[in-house]
Amino acid sequence: MSAQQWRKSSYSASNGGHCVEVARLAEGIGIRDSKNREHGHLTMPPAQFTALLIRLKQEPSTV
């Protein structure tokens, strides 16, 4: 990921629902809802983002 280049999560639904985008930003990793980009994004340090991904992969799917 390059600076300010948002990409859609590979786990996002192809039908336009449940879409998450991520980007490497100067201040950390950005996460946003692709359907509501104008509402901003959540930013976290890379280590915290990695820990989040590990935790999410451990949790059973609720969707």
Per-residue model confidence as pLDDT tens digits over 8-55 = 877 666 666 668 899 999 999 999 998 888 899 999 999 999 999 899
According to the model, what pLDDT value does residue 9 have? 74
According to the model, what pLDDT value does residue 62 have? 59
Q: Does the pLDDT value for residue 2 go beyond 60?
A: no
If one counts every other C-beta atom within 10 angstroms of the C-beta of residue 20, the result is 15
Element (H, E) at 33: strand 28-33
pLDDT band at 1 (very low <50, low <70, confident <90, very high): very low
Amino acid identity, residue 42? L
Which residues, 6+ apart, have CB-to-CB distance to 58 below 8 Å? none
Higher pLDDT, 14 or 62: 14
